[in-house]
Chain A
Amino acid sequence: MSDAAAPTPSEAAHRAQPAPAGGAHLPEISPAERDELRRQGILLTSLEELYNWGRSNSVWPLQFGLACCAIEMIAASMARFDISRFGSEVFRPSPRQADLLIVSGTVTKKMAPQVVRLWNQMPEPKYCIAMGACAISGGPFKQGYNVLKGIDRFIPVDIYIPGCPPRPEALLHGLIELQKKIRGQTLSGPATPRHLRADTACTYPVPEFGEHDLLPPNNPEVWQPPGLARTE
């Protein structure tokens, strides 16, 4: 992997040497320095980076489509757009084997409990992409009575992809952004993601069918109506 034509070992390699005194404290290596080291054939990594690298390149989506966005999702998985370039070609038919829920299309209120149930059945770490205007906000059906006004009312959404429907390239871009997000997650510290914390649940309450609407109409722990005041 190393570039044989590289003239001299870079300064970064010198600076990356462990500190002679103390020993317990390793000096910080910036990502740029790490990349430079890799070009020289020296692989310096951390468990966190290795773990996230593996996870981000094998995001297996759930084989689950709701509306016309699902057609674009299927197109993205076919040879022309080829989602397998990003390691996500393995669409799993079971939520137990899936890492990613692509909510691809209109979520009707009748379908919403099933979507939340599928999300609950997926093991952590799991991610959710809201694909298209309907999954984000209800889209053109926002003023209707039977469409959920965004799947983020019930489950946490990591990536929103606008479009009606988004093109396959947009879905691939959303997937790349999700991979960036996964690579940025830490294994420890206050910013630990949900699946590594003991105090957060991995399941979300499934709404029930009420006489007039879903009960509750949204999960207040996940979503609150925006508190804006009109000025005119």
Chain B
Amino acid sequence: MTSAMESPEQIRGRLLTRFPDAAVAVVANPGPAAQHSLLLDPTRAVEIAAFLRDDPALRLDFCSNVTGLDWPEREVIETIKKTVPLSPVTGAAAAGATAPGPSAEPATKIVEEKIKRLQPGCLEVVYHLYSMALKHGPVILRLRTGNRADQVSLPSLTPIWRSCEFQEREVFDLFGVVFRGHPDLRRILMWDEFRDHPMRKDYVEPDDYEWEPTPHEAVLAKARAHYPTPAPGAPAAPAP
């Protein structure tokens, strides 16, 4: 079924001819599923989505799934190989150690340099699109916010696919992505007074650990924090 459908690269090419000023990238999926996705420019996302829905070759009339991802800010260490000329002092020392006499060519060596780079975080929303009419899919769209703090707004695709409504509310609730143009953007799972976004990586859950008999890993850390090991020889702490 998917063989009849265009590949993400082909869709990207057609999108670029139709929207020359929009940035569309293909995000490759290296896994065995190889479901490559299209990373869209948020400013043109609604137009592109309407095109994908109405295009006679694609007719992606069904948005089956909307989900979110949280990419926290992280340090990336890149290794770059550089060819640098040897400094006169070290060059002379090296020359004196190995072969006496001045060498005619300027000595060079290859140095591996590690660069630490702070990759900014963002929130990402993923849409899985299918075509009921042509029975193909999925085409996967990704939208990314500017950052995780104050630029968390993205255009809502609910005007294009009505089935996005509740799922975009869920992404708003759990990740904190604010969808512009959503008809009814309220929390859907947590209560309205709730302030956190529980699916974000930096969410701190309420400290209501309760003793359990076989704690392990993260639960064991919580258990140690709540029920510290008594000093050797000390009597067990009495129950309150």
Contacts and interface: CB of A to CB of B under 8 A. Distances in A.
Interface residues of A, number: 25
Nearest to B199: A145
Nearest to B227: A230
Contacts of B240: 224, 227
A225 B239 CA distance: 10
A228 interface: yes
Contacts of A137: 210
A143 interface: yes
Nearest to B234: A229
Interface of A: prevailing SS: loop
B239 to A, nearest CB: 4
A199 interface: no
Interface in A198-228: 209-213, 217-218, 224-228
Nearest to A110: B191
Contacts of A227: 237-240
Interface in B121-148: none
A109 B190 CA distance: 8
Contacts of B208: 149, 213, 217-218
A231 interface: yes
A218 B191 CA distance: 18
Contacts of A228: 211, 227, 237, 239
Interface string B205-239: 11010111000001100011011111000001111
Contacts of A212: 194-196, 206
Interface string B47-71: 0000000000000000000000000
A140 B223 CA distance: 17
A137 B223 CA distance: 16
Contact of A231 (B194, B205, B236): B236
B104 interface: no
A142 B196 CA distance: 19
A129 B211 CA distance: 22
Contact of B211 (A211, A213, A226, A231): A226
A145 B223 contact: no
22 contacts: A137-B210, A142-B212, A143-B218, A144-B205, A146-B189, A210-B193, A211-B196, A213-B208, A225-B210, A225-B226, A226-B210, A226-B211, A227-B237, A227-B238, A227-B240, A228-B227, A229-B227, A229-B228, A229-B237, A231-B229, A231-B236, A232-B229
Interface of A: 109-110, 137, 142-146, 149, 209-213, 217-218, 224-232
Given A209-B193, A230-B229, 6 more contacts: A143-B219, A144-B205, A149-B208, A226-B210, A230-B228, A231-B230
